[in-house]
Amino acid sequence: MSPSQIIVLATPVFFLLIAIELAIGFKRQRNTYRLADAVSSISLGMLSQTSAVFTRLLRVGIYTALFEHMALWRNDVFWTSLPGWLLALVFYDFCYYWLHRMGHESAVLWAAHAVHHQSQDYNLSTALRQTSSGALLGWIFYVPMALAGVPPLVFAVVALIDLLYQFWVHTEQVGRLGWFDRWFCSPSNHRVHHAVNDPYLDKNYGGILILWDRMFGTFKDEDDQEKCVYGTRGLLDSWDPLWANAQVYAGLAHDSWHARSWLDKLKVWIKPPGWRPADVAERFPKPAFSMAQMQLYHPPMSRAVQGFALVQFGILLAGVAAFLWQADAAPLAHNAIWFAVLLVSQWALGAVMQGRIGMGMALMLQSAALATATSALGLTEWHWVFKPLTMAIAIILIAISAYSLRADGLFDSKNWWLMAAALAGSLAGDVFLMFSGFFIPGLVSFLVAHLFYVALFKSGQRWFPHRGALVATLGIGVAMYAFLWAAGLPPALRAPVAAYVLVIALMAAQAIGRATVLRDGPALLVALGAGFFMLSDSLLATNRFVQPLPWSQVWVLSTYYAAQALIVGGWLLGQQAGGSAPGRSQPAAPSAAITA
């Protein structure tokens, strides 16, 4: 049984303990849970486990190679005896202490570890909040175990024991435990570790034993007069699982890029977190951390969004469990495709809870991911469900949004009918291309859809307001058509393909020109969507008329759905801001109309 399968089997126990903690909190009137934060933390735990499928070489492979070729003492009989197992567990915990400590003392290691600290709540769901990039450098700290001859199996088991032990210490419902607190990592000791208060900062690194902290001067006892405040000093303020993993890396990359000294460019990554070159700090100042200004991130969620989040979370949990259960036996390509589906779904759920997108858009993105995956993996029956469903959801989203905006007096029936017609043409094209022998009807359907898009983007604007964009898109179109012609484009398709290439180039030119006039976020999203359309059609044509592309369905459909989602999402935001009036210059925030 693989470690991933063990985690799947342990998951019901985790949730049982979470339920018990939640019930105790309500009984004591000391509830420590918020729905969005708990879902976000557990979602990051899911992402950590699913991404670990692809980092197994770093986590186990390098260790095994070092053990096989560089171990200084080989005695498997000892290490698999009771004293050997106990020694290996203590050895692992010692190595973990130094990994954990350096994760707070070196910026590049903190970039990975910070994910675990970002929650401003402290409960058992926080324990599941884990990094997805820790394996990149974390393996270095366990090299001494490989050199000492600890067998890989023993290493893997004690690592799992150490990890599982740390689950229960993430709670505020368990107080001090007397003598236990003096020797072991306990809830009291670990609350100190997660706090950002000055007296508690960077203390209590032990995994199982707190003895290491007492030995090396990093222990701090919890003070009843100093209530722990949780989170990080650079607040995440987001439920986005991708940004949670990338936030600190992005900040380090920014400072390293702008540092004038090559030595400082390197120091940014090695020095303690928060260190910045003097020239970077002067050009890009950051306010000093203040406990008084530390606010709880808690964007409002309607009851409908809360219900949606709970249902989506349950489905995601089942999907992750299924993925992990079969991941070790599945081909790498299949794992990568399903991992992408789960990642899109997790991002969409976080975006809904944060109010960045609506529930309809989330369903469209998730259906698009499933349509792409089922096509790439040859699951034809399911593909026949999700491919038309995706654009059907988009049409329903447009209809609901139109109904909502009509009441606000922001409804322009002509524009809404143009958008609906463009999506309907796309839906027809999708259906035709699902069957062999219907390429021409599919091509014509998409051509008509693009004509509606051109008319939509023209509304309120001049024809092709940016001449450079028109020249560039037409140039790309001509080059693509010449490429297809030289590759042997069938004579019967030359005229239809030429017309299609011309129309999509004009659509992209109109969308880009519109964005240069409006100069706002929604118009930029629409222009990006038009660009993705050109890319998707180029990939489709190359795959069909030039040579088959590896993973062609993944590239063609993912770029196609990215195009549709960007256009629909950007256009809806623009309509909420007041239509396509050239005077509009600021992007709109999502409203009830868009979060339908």
Inform me whether the pLDDT recorded for 3 exceeds 80.
Answer: no
Q: What's the predicted TM-score (pTM) here? A: 0.90
Inform me whether the pLDDT recorded for 168 exceeds 70.
Answer: yes
What's the pLDDT score for residue 576?
Answer: 76
Q: How far is CA 168 from CA 162, 180, 261, 542, 546, in A?
A: 11, 14, 45, 54, 58
Residue indicated by tokens 């915990």: 93
What's the pLDDT score for residue 575?
Answer: 80
User: For residue 67, is it within any domain?
Assistant: yes
Are both 33 and 88 inside the same structural domain? yes
What's the pLDDT score for residue 591?
Answer: 38
Share the mean pLDDT of the chain.
Answer: 92
The residue ranking higher by pLDDT, 14 or 584, is: 14
Hey, CA dihedral for 213, 218, 223, 226, is it positive or negative? negative
Residue 469: both structure tokens together: 């964009």
Are both 33 and 132 inside the same structural domain? yes
The residue ranking higher by pLDDT, 592 or 36, is: 36
> Final residue of a domain: which of 159, 175, 191?
175
Contact 91, 145 (CB under 8 A): yes
Q: Nearest Cα to 410, choosing from 588, 530, 565?
A: 588
Are both 446 and 374 inside the same structural domain? no
The residue ranking higher by pLDDT, 207 or 403, is: 207
User: For residue 594, is it within any domain?
Assistant: no
User: For residue 194, is it within any domain?
Assistant: no
Are both 451 and 385 inside the same structural domain? no
Neighbours of 24 (CB within 10 A): 15
3-state secondary structure 420-471: HHHHHHHHHHHHHHCCCCCHHHHHHHHHHHHHHHHHHHHCCCCCCCCHHHHH
Taking the C-alpha atoms of residue 106 and residue 97, their distance in angstroms, rounded to an integer, is 14
Taking the C-alpha atoms of residue 533 and residue 449, their distance in angstroms, rounded to an integer, is 12
Q: How far is CA 252 from CA 129, 131, 280, 283, 374, in A?
A: 22, 17, 11, 15, 38
Residue 126: both structure tokens together: 């926080």
**Residues paired with residue 184 on neighbouring β-strands, in sequence order:** 209
- 588: confidence class by pLDDT, cuts 50, 70, 90: very low
> Final residue of a domain: which of 411, 431, 456?
411
What's the pLDDT score for residue 141?
Answer: 96
- 587: confidence class by pLDDT, cuts 50, 70, 90: very low
User: For residue 205, is it within any domain?
Assistant: no
What's the pLDDT score for residue 584?
Answer: 39
- 409: confidence class by pLDDT, cuts 50, 70, 90: low
Burial (CB < 10 A; 0-12, 13-18, 19+), residue 89, is buried
3-state secondary structure 28-92: CCCCCCCHHHHHHHHHHHHHHHHHHCCCHHHHHHHHHHHHHHHCCCCCHHHHCCHHHHHHHHHHH
Q: How far is CA 4 from CA 62, 84, 93, 325, 347, in A?
A: 18, 25, 21, 7, 22
Residue 195: both structure tokens together: 């706090």
Inform me whether the pLDDT recorded for 12 exceeds 60.
Answer: yes
What's the pLDDT score for residue 447?
Answer: 92
- 408: confidence class by pLDDT, cuts 50, 70, 90: low
Are both 150 and 22 inside the same structural domain? yes
**Distance, C-alpha 311 to centroid of its chain:** 19
Q: How far is CA 64 from CA 2, 55, 95, 332, 509, in A?
A: 16, 14, 17, 21, 55
What's the pLDDT score for residue 596?
Answer: 43
Are both 19 and 132 inside the same structural domain? yes
What's the pLDDT score for residue 580?
Answer: 41
What secondary structure letter does DSSP report for 297? Answer: -
User: Percent of the chain, pLDDT > 90?
Assistant: 81
Taking the C-alpha atoms of residue 516 and residue 523, their distance in angstroms, rounded to an integer, is 8
Are both 24 and 167 inside the same structural domain? yes
Element holding 247 (H helix, E strand): helix 241-258
Hey, CA dihedral for 390, 395, 401, 403, is it positive or negative? negative
Q: How far is CA 276 from CA 89, 217, 260, 383, in A?
A: 38, 26, 12, 50
User: For residue 257, is it within any domain?
Assistant: no
User: For residue 570, is it within any domain?
Assistant: yes
Q: Minimum mean pLDDT among 174-183, 310-319, 461-470: which range?
A: 461-470
Average pLDDT on 11-20 reads 96
> Final residue of a domain: which of 388, 411, 434?
411
Inform me whether the pLDDT recorded for 544 exceeds 50.
Answer: yes
Q: What digits encode the pLDDT tens for the residues 211-265?
A: 999 999 999 999 999 999 999 998 899 999 999 999 999 999 999 999 999 999 9
User: For residue 135, is it within any domain?
Assistant: yes
Inform me whether the pLDDT recorded for 586 exceeds 80.
Answer: no
Total domain count, the chain: 3
**Domain extent at residue 384:** 306-411
Q: What digits encode the pLDDT tens for the residues 65-102?
A: 999 999 999 999 999 999 999 999 999 999 999 999 99
Average pLDDT on 311-326 reads 96
Inform me whether the pLDDT recorded for 162 exceeds 80.
Answer: yes
Are both 358 and 486 inside the same structural domain? no
Are both 360 and 430 inside the same structural domain? no
Inform me whether the pLDDT recorded for 128 exceeds 60.
Answer: yes
Q: How far is CA 187 from CA 9, 16, 167, 176, 192, in A?
A: 24, 18, 10, 8, 9
Are both 400 and 420 inside the same structural domain? no
Taking the C-alpha atoms of residue 422 and residue 565, their distance in angstroms, rounded to an integer, is 13
User: For residue 250, is it within any domain?
Assistant: no
Taking the C-alpha atoms of residue 244 and residue 234, their distance in angstroms, rounded to an integer, is 11
What secondary structure letter does DSSP report for 543? Answer: I
Are both 389 and 422 inside the same structural domain? no
Are both 463 and 549 inside the same structural domain? yes
